[in-house]
A and B are shown apart, each in its own frame.
Chain A
Amino acid sequence: MAERIMMKGNEAFAEGAIKAGCHFFFGYPITPQNEIPEYMSRRMPEVGGTFIQAESEVSAINMVYGAGGAGARAMTSSSSPGVSLKQEGISYIAAAEVPCVIVNVARGGPGLGGLTPSQADYFQAVKGGGHGDYHMVVFAPASVQEIIDLMYEAFVTADKYRTPVMVLADGLLGQMMEPVVLRDWEDLQIPEKPWATTGMVSGKPQSVINSLGLAPEELENLNLRLQKKYRTIEENGVRYEEDGVEDAELIIVAYGTSARVSKSAIAKARAEGKKVGLFRPITLWPFPSKRLAELAEAGKRFMAVEMSAGQMIEDVKLAVNGKTEVEFYGRYNGAIPSVTEVYQAIIKSFDNREVQK
Chain B
Amino acid sequence: MKQVFGYPESLQTRPNHYCPGCTHGIIHRLVAEAIDELQVREKAIAVAPVGCAVLAYNYFNCDAQQAAHGRAPAVATGIKRALPDRIVFTYQGDGDLASIGMAEIVHAANRGENITVIFVNNAIYGMTGGQMAPTTLPGQKTTTSPYGRDTATTGYPIQVCEMLSTLKAPAFIARVSVHDPKNVLKAKEAIKKAFEYQVNGKGFTLVEVLSTCPTNWGMTPVEALKWLENNMIPAFPLGTFRSLEEVSK
Q: State yes or no: do A and B touch (Cβ within 8 Å).
A: yes
What is A's interface to B at a CB cutoff of 8 Å? 24, 26, 50, 52, 54-56, 58-60, 62-72, 74, 88-89, 92, 96, 197-202, 206-212
Report whether B107 and A62 are in contact in the complex, using a CB–CB cutoff of 8 Å. Answer: no
**Chain A residues with CB below 8 A from B67, complex form:** 62, 65-66, 92
8 Å CB contact of B41 from A65, A69, A200: A200
Report whether A96 and B79 are in contact in the complex, using a CB–CB cutoff of 8 Å. Answer: no
Report whether B103 and A197 are in contact in the complex, using a CB–CB cutoff of 8 Å. Answer: no
Report whether A55 and B64 are in contact in the complex, using a CB–CB cutoff of 8 Å. Answer: no
CB of A348, distance to nearest CB on chain B (Å): 49
For chain B, which range describes its interface: under 10, 10 to 19, 20 to 34, or 35 or more residues?
A: 35 or more
What are some 6 contacts across the A-B interface (CB < 8 A)?
A62-B104, A70-B45, A70-B86, A206-B64, A209-B66, A210-B57
Report whether B79 and A208 are in contact in the complex, using a CB–CB cutoff of 8 Å. Answer: no
Report whether B64 and A201 are in contact in the complex, using a CB–CB cutoff of 8 Å. Answer: no
User: Is B76 engaged at the interface, CB distance under 8 Å to the other chain?
Assistant: yes
Report whether B57 and A64 are in contact in the complex, using a CB–CB cutoff of 8 Å. Answer: no
**How distant is the Cα of A101 from the Cα of B61 in the complex, in angstroms?**
30
**Chain B residues with CB below 8 A from A56, complex form:** 103
8 Å CB contact of A67 from B41, B57, B78: B78
User: Is B92 engaged at the interface, CB distance under 8 Å to the other chain?
Assistant: no
**How distant is the Cα of A321 from the Cα of B80 in the complex, in angstroms?**
50
What is B's interface to A at a CB cutoff of 8 Å? 41-45, 47-48, 54-55, 57, 61-68, 71, 74-83, 86, 103-104, 106-107, 111
Report whether B63 and A24 are in contact in the complex, using a CB–CB cutoff of 8 Å. Answer: no
CB of B100, distance to nearest CB on chain A (Å): 10
**How distant is the Cα of A52 from the Cα of B107 in the complex, in angstroms?**
11
**Chain A residues with CB below 8 A from B103, complex form:** 55-56, 58-59
**How distant is the Cα of A219 from the Cα of B178 in the complex, in angstroms?**
35
**How distant is the Cα of A210 from the Cα of B62 in the complex, in angstroms?**
14
**Chain B residues with CB below 8 A from A197, complex form:** 45, 63-65, 79
Report whether B63 and A62 are in contact in the complex, using a CB–CB cutoff of 8 Å. Answer: no
**Majority secondary structure of chain B interface residues (helix, strand, loop or mixed):** helix
Report whether A59 and B65 are in contact in the complex, using a CB–CB cutoff of 8 Å. Answer: no
**Chain A residues with CB below 8 A from B68, complex form:** 62, 88-89, 92
**Chain B residues with CB below 8 A from A201, complex form:** 42-43
Report whether A209 and B81 are in contact in the complex, using a CB–CB cutoff of 8 Å. Answer: no
- What is the chain A residue whose CB lies nearest that of B70? A58
**Chain B residues with CB below 8 A from A202, complex form:** 42
8 Å CB contact of B107 from A24, A55, A66, A207: A55
**Chain A residues with CB below 8 A from B45, complex form:** 70, 197-199
Report whether A199 and B42 are in contact in the complex, using a CB–CB cutoff of 8 Å. Answer: yes
Report whether A209 and B78 are in contact in the complex, using a CB–CB cutoff of 8 Å. Answer: no
Report whether A198 and B78 are in contact in the complex, using a CB–CB cutoff of 8 Å. Answer: no
Report whether A55 and B104 are in contact in the complex, using a CB–CB cutoff of 8 Å. Answer: yes
Report whether B63 and A199 are in contact in the complex, using a CB–CB cutoff of 8 Å. Answer: yes
**Chain B residues with CB below 8 A from A62, complex form:** 67-68, 71, 74-75, 78, 104
Most central of A26, A62, A74, A210 by chain B CB within 10 Å? A62
Most central of A92, A96, A197, A207 by chain B CB within 10 Å? A197
**Chain A residues with CB below 8 A from B107, complex form:** 54-55, 59
Report whether A67 and B54 are in contact in the complex, using a CB–CB cutoff of 8 Å. Answer: no
**Chain B residues with CB below 8 A from A206, complex form:** 57, 61-64
**Chain B residues with CB below 8 A from A208, complex form:** 57, 63-66
Report whether B79 and A69 are in contact in the complex, using a CB–CB cutoff of 8 Å. Answer: yes
- What is the chain B residue whose CB lies nearest that of A64? B78
8 Å CB contact of A66 from B42, B65, B106: B65
**Chain B residues with CB below 8 A from A60, complex form:** 74
8 Å CB contact of B86 from A63, A89, A198, A210: A198
Report whether A199 and B74 are in contact in the complex, using a CB–CB cutoff of 8 Å. Answer: no
A65 and B65 contact, Cβ closer than 8 Å, known pairs A198-B86, A200-B42: yes
**How distant is the Cα of A56 from the Cα of B105 in the complex, in angstroms?**
12
**How distant is the Cα of A60 from the Cα of B75 in the complex, in angstroms?**
9
**Chain B residues with CB below 8 A from A58, complex form:** 71, 74, 103-104
Pairs A-B, 6 closest by C-beta atoms: A66-B78, A62-B74, A67-B78, A55-B107, A63-B78, A197-B63
Report whether B82 and A67 are in contact in the complex, using a CB–CB cutoff of 8 Å. Answer: yes
**Chain B residues with CB below 8 A from A24, complex form:** 78, 81-82
A96 and B66 contact, Cβ closer than 8 Å, known pairs A66-B47, A74-B82, A208-B57: yes
**Chain B residues with CB below 8 A from A69, complex form:** 65, 75, 78-79
**How distant is the Cα of A64 from the Cα of B81 in the complex, in angstroms?**
10
CB of B131, distance to nearest CB on chain A (Å): 20
- What is the chain A residue whose CB lies nearest that of B54? A212
**Chain A residues with CB below 8 A from B54, complex form:** 212
| 16 other A-B residue contacts (CB within 8 Å) besides A52-B81, A52-B111 | A56-B103, A58-B104, A63-B77, A66-B77, A67-B78, A69-B65, A70-B79, A71-B83, A72-B82, A89-B68, A198-B86, A199-B62, A200-B61, A200-B62, A210-B57, A211-B66
Report whether B57 and A65 are in contact in the complex, using a CB–CB cutoff of 8 Å. Answer: no
- What is the chain B residue whose CB lies nearest that of A198? B83
**How distant is the Cα of A357 from the Cα of B212 in the complex, in angstroms?**
80
**How distant is the Cα of A49 from the Cα of B77 in the complex, in angstroms?**
14
CB of A210, distance to nearest CB on chain B (Å): 4
